[in-house]
Amino acid sequence: MDRFLLMTCFARAVETGSFSAAGRDLGLGQPNVSRYVAALEAHVQTRLLHRSTRRLALTPEGERYYAEVRRILDAVDDAESSLRDTVAPSGLLRVACPTALAHAFVLPWVPTFLDRYPGIELDLQIGDRYVNLVDEGAELAIRIGHLEDSALRARRIGMFERVCVASREYLARRGTPLTPDDLQHHDCIVYTLLSSGSTWRLSDQEVAVSGRLRVNSPQAVQEAVRSGVGIAHGPRWLFEAGLTDGSLRLLLSEYVPPLVPIQILYVANRLLSKRAVAFMDFISEAFSIVPALSADRPANDK
């Protein structure tokens, strides 16, 4: 039994979502792929996939096994590619990315990246849920904030400032906060997926805030603050349109918090594939020319 073939069929079925699509990609046909995955499950004595008429879904054991299978297949691919330096980056690259950052700055560059590297398939996993690179099969993750996991390595690709903003309508109704402590007497829009919860960092102090609206989407924060619901705190680039057209005002600008890094993370003890390196270099170059993501660069260096 060729276990490498079985693992390849399993991984491709997961990535395409069906035995039929995997069979077309691999030139094996749907019946063979289904049979090979069943043989793999029999070999490991574990159900890896839930089958239905509409889709395939990984079992919890399948999720863990897929991450290891993907690592093995990538390592084999990299080993072969290392002997052929002229071979262009290729294969499937899974990248996790926060929602707002993806829509504002990553997706606009995707067509150029795919044109430059026609051999790469990009699976961009957009969402604000924490993706575990060790267990979930993604090769890279773009994250906002400082690295805390010692099993990962990081490459910084940008820096930005966080600001407090409110609509002119809200300020006319409720007044303007003059110090961070004043925020405790205002309706603050709480972004529930923020790692610090309902605590905002302003200058060298942390302020516990509250309000009548809690949301789990940066876009919802953006829309709510423009609608006059309350005060928002987040990346300046998220509110730039409102600040530019005058519908939003900057608040507490003398209490500027530390700059926040944007980083690409990868697992420390895994060999990075050529496609991962290509993506890291590409997106780092792309971000370097965006002023909103280069807050720590001198003006003549942007």
Q: What is the mean pLDDT of residues 249-272?
A: 86
- Please indicate, yes or no, if residue 52 is contained in any of the structural domains: yes
Query: How far is it, in rounded angstroms, from Cα 21 to Cα 192?
Result: 38
Quote the pTM value.
0.67
Query: How far is it, in rounded angstroms, from Cα 261 to Cα 17?
Result: 35
Confidence of residue 52 (pLDDT cuts 50, 70, 90): confident
What per-residue confidence (pLDDT) applies to 258? 83
Do 151 and 167 fall into the same domain?
Answer: no
Q: Domain containing 217: what range?
A: 162-251
Q: What is the mean pLDDT of residues 190-206?
A: 84
What per-residue confidence (pLDDT) applies to 112? 96
Mean pLDDT lowest among 26-35, 164-173, 229-238: 26-35
Do 173 and 39 fall into the same domain?
Answer: no
Beta strands 152-160; 205-208: pairing state: unpaired
What per-residue confidence (pLDDT) applies to 179? 94
Highest mean pLDDT among 130-134, 166-170, 193-197, 294-298: 166-170
Q: What is the mean pLDDT of residues 214-220?
A: 91
Confidence of residue 220 (pLDDT cuts 50, 70, 90): very high
- Please indicate, yes or no, if residue 75 is contained in any of the structural domains: no
* CATH number of the domain residue 8 falls in: 1.10.10.10
Do 57 and 121 fall into the same domain?
Answer: no
Do 27 and 171 fall into the same domain?
Answer: no
Do 116 and 180 fall into the same domain?
Answer: no
Last residue of a domain, one of 9, 33, 65: 65
Query: How far is it, in rounded angstroms, from Cα 110 to Cα 100?
Result: 15
User: Is there a contact between 164 and 171 (Cβ–Cβ < 8 Å)?
Assistant: no
Do 147 and 170 fall into the same domain?
Answer: no
Confidence of residue 248 (pLDDT cuts 50, 70, 90): very high
Position 28, amino acid: L
* CATH number of the domain residue 283 falls in: 3.40.190.10
Query: How far is it, in rounded angstroms, from Cα 8 to Cα 22?
Result: 9
Q: Does residue 299 have a pLDDT over 50?
A: no
Do 58 and 180 fall into the same domain?
Answer: no
Last residue of a domain, one of 251, 271, 287: 251
Round to the nearest angstrom and report the end-to-end CA distance of the chain. 56
Last residue of a domain, one of 251, 267, 291: 251
Do 6 and 61 fall into the same domain?
Answer: yes
- Please indicate, yes or no, if residue 78 is contained in any of the structural domains: no
Residue pLDDT, tens place only, 111-167: 999 999 999 999 998 987 777 776 666 789 999 887 776 678 889 999 999 999 999
* Tokens 């996939």 belong to residue: 49
What per-residue confidence (pLDDT) applies to 82? 61
Please return the burial class of 175, using the count of CB atoms within 10 Å of its CB with bins 0-12, 13-18 and 19+.
exposed
Q: What is the mean pLDDT of residues 98-110?
A: 93
Confidence of residue 292 (pLDDT cuts 50, 70, 90): confident
User: Is there a contact between 243 and 160 (Cβ–Cβ < 8 Å)?
Assistant: no
Position 148, amino acid: E
User: Is there a contact between 142 and 98 (Cβ–Cβ < 8 Å)?
Assistant: yes
The rounded mean pLDDT for the chain is 86
The token pair that represents 195 in the structure block: 């790692």
What per-residue confidence (pLDDT) applies to 85? 54
Do 239 and 268 fall into the same domain?
Answer: no
Q: How many domains does the chain have?
A: 3
